[in-house]
């Protein structure tokens, strides 16, 4: 059932039927309802490709997943972000498309995705420091939004981000105020921009307190449970183990907790732990009482906002660049306490 067929059935032209269905004013209301009824009756649905061809819009938003970082797509944080975005897309009649693209040709992928008319806009996730993809997208003139920011990139661009620096500074400050001096940072991958900012916040708090951080207590890697566990185990074996640990993700914090448990240590008494809590749906930080003291910011909500901003951008390509900086909340649970006295 296509437009032509439907218009024949109705004894109207394709023009009129098309206009009736798309809400144009130059069609008699009686005719319009007749058309709508017939469309519903015959289950008519405009072919999205033909529509796209004619209008030049695809009503699809693209997310390009690097194949190399195998884990990106599978990262629960990524998942929650996308779930948020999907909600907004649905509300605005956009579909969401994923393309797996080899890292080597990320530019190629974006270019082909957009040029060939598959998507109206792109979401760039997990920006690194000096992220090259940003200028690629800028040059191409594709509407896009970055989840996060990229230190070192000069071109202006739309972004939404959590104030990572401030929230980690605050969390570190909190631990210092509790008397901790040996604090470990179990961070995300070093080349990720958010990891840098968190590290900066961490170090700033140390500076402000006039103490120096021990490089042996700074680690970074992909934020899995295993990584949190292994790193914590390693650190506990040090001659001078940390009295507090700051983890960049609740997932690695779970690994940390496992390590502590295995070593017979009690969180909040023997050692303090703060995690960054993205409010992952399947990994909530407790119910009433938080499991971990945490810097909290819903990544799902960020996804919703990002999608909104992107859609705005698509509708107004020439507006000045927009950005949105979310502040993380510091929620205090039982995983933190005063630094134990030196024995």
54 scored as a contact of DNA (CB under 7 A)? yes
Distance CA 230, CA 249 (A): 15
Is 43 near DNA (CB under 7 A)?
no
Question: Cβ of residue 69: shortest distance to a copy of itself, in angstroms?
Answer: 11
Which phi-psi region, left, alpha or beta, contains residue 93 (left: φ > 0; alpha: ψ -120 to 50)?
left
- What does the block give as tokens for 297? 């910011």
Whichever of 82 and 185 has its CB closer to a copy of itself, that residue is: 82
DSSP lists the bridge partners of residue 331 as 294
From the list 50-58, 59-67, 164-172, 263-271, the region that binds DNA by CB under 7 A is 50-58
* Contact positions vs a copy of itself (CB under 8 A): 43, 45-50, 52-53, 58, 60, 65, 67, 70-71, 73-76, 78-80, 82-83, 86-87, 89-90, 95-101, 111-112, 115-118, 223-226, 230, 251, 254, 257-258, 261, 280-284, 286-287, 291, 300
Task: Tell me how far, at minimum, the Cβ of 76 lies from a copy of itself, in Å.
Answer: 5
CA 292, CA 103: separation in Å to the nearest integer?
Answer: 35
Q: Rounded to the nearest 5°, which phi and psi values hold at 281?
A: -60, -40
Residue 90, binding choice from a copy of itself, DNA, none, Cβ under 5 to 8 Å by partner class? a copy of itself
Q: Which is nearer to a copy of itself, 46 or 179 (CB)?
A: 46
Q: Supply the DSSP symbol for 230.
A: H
Question: In whole angstroms, how far apart are CA 237 and each of 217, 232, 261?
Answer: 12, 9, 14
Q: Which is nearer to DNA, 16 or 297 (CB)?
A: 16
The single residue listed with the structure tokens 């990262």 is 75
93 binds DNA (CB under 7 A): no
Binding piece for DNA, criterion CB under 7 A, among 27-35, 158-166, 187-195, 229-237: 27-35
Contact between 293 and 273 under an 8 Å Cβ cutoff? The reply is yes
Cα 137 to Cα 210: distance, rounded to the nearest angstrom: 42
Considering the complex, state which of residue 34 and residue 87 has its C-beta at the smaller distance from a copy of itself. 87
Is there a contact between 122 and 99 (Cβ–Cβ < 8 Å)? no
Cβ contact 221:189 at 8 Å:
yes
Chain residues binding DNA by CB under 7 A are 2-4, 11-16, 18-19, 21-22, 26-29, 31, 44-47, 50-51, 53-56
């Amino acid at each position: 059932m296509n437009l032509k067929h439907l218009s024949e059935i109705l004894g109207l032209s394709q023009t009129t039927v098309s206009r009736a269905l798309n809400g144009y004013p130059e069609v008699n209301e009686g005719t319009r309802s007749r058309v709508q009824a017939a469309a519903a009756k015959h289950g008519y649905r405009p072919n999205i490709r033909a529509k796209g061809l004619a209008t030049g819009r695809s009503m699809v938003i693209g997310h390009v997943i690097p194949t190399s970082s195998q884990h990106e797509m599978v990262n629960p944080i990524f998942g929650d972000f996308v779930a948020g975005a999907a909600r907004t897309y649905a509300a605005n009649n956009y579909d969401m498309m994923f393309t797996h693209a080899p890292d080597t040709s990320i530019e190629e992928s974006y270019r082909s995705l957009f040029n060939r008319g598959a998507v109206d806009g792109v979401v760039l996730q997990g920006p690194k420091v000096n992220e090259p993809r940003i200028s690629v997208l800028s040059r191409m003139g594709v509407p896009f939004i970055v989840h996060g920011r990229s230190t070192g990139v000069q071109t202006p661009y739309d972004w939404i981000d959590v104030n990572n620096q401030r929230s980690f500074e605050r969390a570190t400050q909190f631990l210092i105020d509790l008397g901790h001096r040996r604090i470990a940072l179990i961070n995300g991958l070093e080349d990720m921009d958010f990891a840098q900012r968190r590290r900066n916040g961490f170090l700033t708090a140390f500076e402000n307190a006039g103490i120096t951080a021990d490089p042996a207590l700074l680690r970074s890697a992909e934020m899995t449970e295993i990584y949190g566990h292994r790193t914590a185990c390693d650190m506990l074996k040090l001659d001078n183990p940390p009295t507090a640990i700051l983890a960049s993700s609740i997932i690695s914090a779970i690994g940390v907790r496992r390590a502590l448990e295995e070593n017979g240590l009690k969180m909040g008494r023997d050692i303090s732990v703060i995690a960054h809590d993205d409010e992952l749906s399947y990994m909530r930080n407790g119910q009433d009482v938080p499991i971990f003291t945490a810097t909290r910011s819903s990544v799902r909500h960020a996804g919703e906002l990002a999608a909104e901003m992107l859609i705005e951008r698509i509708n107004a390509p020439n507006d000045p660049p927009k950005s949105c900086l979310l502040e993380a909340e510091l929620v205090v649970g039982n995983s933190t306490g005063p630094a134990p006295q030196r024995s």
